[in-house]
Structure 1
Amino acid sequence: MTKILILCIVGFIASFVDSIAGGGGIITIPAYLASGISPHLALGTNKFAASFGSVTSSIKFAKSGKVNFKLLKFLIPFTFLGSILGVKTVLSISQNFLSTFILVMILIIAVYSIFNKSLGIENNYTSPTKLTLLFGIIMAFSLGFYDGFFGPGTGSFLMFLLIKIFKFDFVNASGNAKILNFVSNITSLFIFALNKQIIYTIGLPVGICMIFGARLGSHLAIKDGAKLIKPIFIIMSVAVAGKLIVSFF
């Protein structure tokens, strides 16, 4: 009972942070592993519980008008397809190479975000051109694929690229990233469920707590905007990089 209570508290904190800037998995996964749950079950149970918070924050952002469904209708199918292919090819990719590559990329994003003071502060979105839509489709497929077999930093990459490609501010980028990330999460969750890699007696109470964390986090993100999201985004990017460094060594 104590273990579940601790995991519920961790889940609340993780979903609060994740609903603002992504990166919740780097908080919950170590907690599941520390509680004695095997890696595959930890990943599956985390996907199950996190889906509660993910759908909550997605709905919250959508209701606030921070999700551009006219754009996402072109991107969601490619995120879905990418995540399916990612799950299927997970064992054929060198994890050491991937960890190093992602570490370098996410550190670049964090440093760039720190020194580019105007990044994501104003929402300059205009209707997508054929070129930006093509870049968006490539982004959706690639990050869906990545999230399907690896995952850390997916939310950070989505937010950063939505800002760079479509000129969103952090609030709108966060809202649209939540929807795309939710699609890839649900896809991989389905695979974990088929392979019986979910502990529902733990995932359900943790998931309920993650609903409340996601509601609070997304409310504050929508209310306080980029001034809240950007620093947390940078902190979580650095934290993901830190986790990858620890895992690498």
Structure 2
Amino acid sequence: MDIYQIVFLSGIFFIASIVSVIAGSTSLITVPLMLEFGVEPRTAIATNMLALTLMSIGGTLPFIGKRIIQIKRLPLLTLLTIVGSFLGALLVLILPSKSMPLVISISMIIVTILSVITRNTQGTRIEVIPPRIGEIAGYVATFILGIYGGFFSGGYVTLLTAAYVMLFRMTFVEAIATTKFINIFSSLIATSIFIYQGIVDYYLGIILGITMFLGGIIGGQITLKLSNVWLQRIYLTVVAILAFITLRKYQEQNRSSSTI
């Protein structure tokens, strides 16, 4: 990969990281882009995970000291995320990922529908699910999504944000801040396994990681300045767009394979 391609990738990664602090789904943009530039699939996933770790750290920094992250839930959420991410990263090494675009598309569409149904125009906490059931379901969702996050991460934070808004009754800014913190551990565990397996491109990963770290800081600062209403609007718009693009790409791949 030449310097011009790296500069182009860095620019896209920077913009994606700013937006993804609010909406997530960074990997739905970054991994396919690396594949287009000839990066081997497993290396692309592993290198992207290294960059995501730095982005998550940058995206968390603006929220520290603002009393937005829900501290009382963090120990259990972090533990469930670490275990889930470890299992998910192992799946990368043993399972094919041909069906992932369809899985991601369906997940994103479901998230969009649920988010629209439960939207709150005032930006306050959503109270649709009984507290006790929502609390338990929130922890279960954290573990299951942690597995997915360690495997690919495309849409992981997006789904986790929706889950925390609906199940833990968090506002969007609380969910965004909490998921950014948790994603540090999800990405770090997966990255550690990929490093052990020797499939990380350090040169590309560090360059893109620094870029995304800076983008994460900017994205976090923007998030703090926006109301929950605007955060929700941006979130829903990005989710809908990504769901449409991913589904279209999957359909095109199916048509291409059927003509061979």
TM (normalized to structure 2)? 0.85
Alpha-carbon spacing, 1:114–1:123, altered in 2? closer, same or farther (3 Å): closer
Alpha-carbon spacing, 1:7–1:65, altered in 2? closer, same or farther (3 Å): same
Please tell me whether the aligned partners of residues 49 and 206 of structure 1 are also in contact (alpha carbons under 8 angstroms): yes
Please tell me whether the aligned partners of residues 122 and 169 of structure 1 are also in contact (alpha carbons under 8 angstroms): yes
CA distance in 2, matches of 1:89, 1:47: 14
Alignment of 1:106-125 (within 5 A): 106-114=108-116, 116-118=118-120, 121-123=123-125
Alignment of 1:171-210 (within 5 A): 171-210=173-212
Matching residue of 2:64: 62
Give ranges in structure 1 of 5+ residues lacking alignment. Answer: none
Matching residue of 2:250: 247
Offset, 1:171: 0.5
CA distance in 2, matches of 1:203, 1:91: 19
Matching residue of 1:162: 164
Of 19, 35, 38, 1:33 maps to 35
Matching residue of 2:223: 221
Alpha-carbon spacing, 1:101–1:169, altered in 2? closer, same or farther (3 Å): same
Please tell me whether the aligned partners of residues 113 and 119 of structure 1 are also in contact (alpha carbons under 8 angstroms): no
1:168 maps to amino acid: M
What SS class does the counterpart of residue 118 from structure 1 fall into?
A: coil
What SS class does the counterpart of residue 63 from structure 1 fall into?
A: coil
CA distance in 1, matches of 2:122, 2:143: 23
Offset, 1:219: 0.6
Offset, 1:168: 0.9
Please tell me whether the aligned partners of residues 152 and 240 of structure 1 are also in contact (alpha carbons under 8 angstroms): no
Alpha-carbon spacing, 1:120–1:68, altered in 2? closer, same or farther (3 Å): farther
Please tell me whether the aligned partners of residues 26 and 243 of structure 1 are also in contact (alpha carbons under 8 angstroms): no
Please tell me whether the aligned partners of residues 49 and 191 of structure 2 are also in contact (alpha carbons under 8 angstroms): yes
Offset, 1:165: 0.9
CA distance in 1, matches of 2:102, 2:9: 29
Offset, 1:192: 1.1
CA distance in 1, matches of 2:92, 2:198: 18
CA distance in 1, matches of 2:122, 2:184: 22
Greater displacement, 101-110 / 143-152: 101-110
TM (normalized to structure 1)? 0.88
What SS class does the counterpart of residue 36 from structure 1 fall into?
A: coil
Offset, 1:90: 4.5
Greater displacement, 83-92 / 178-187: 83-92
CA distance in 1, matches of 2:42, 2:15: 22
Give ranges in structure 2 of 5+ residues lacking alignment. Answer: 255-260
Of 140, 143, 166, 1:141 maps to 143
CA distance in 2, matches of 1:83, 1:2: 33
- Number of aligned residue pairs: 247
CA distance in 1, matches of 2:103, 2:39: 28
Please tell me whether the aligned partners of residues 26 and 154 of structure 2 are also in contact (alpha carbons under 8 angstroms): no
Alpha-carbon spacing, 1:47–1:62, altered in 2? closer, same or farther (3 Å): same
Please tell me whether the aligned partners of residues 131 and 168 of structure 2 are also in contact (alpha carbons under 8 angstroms): no
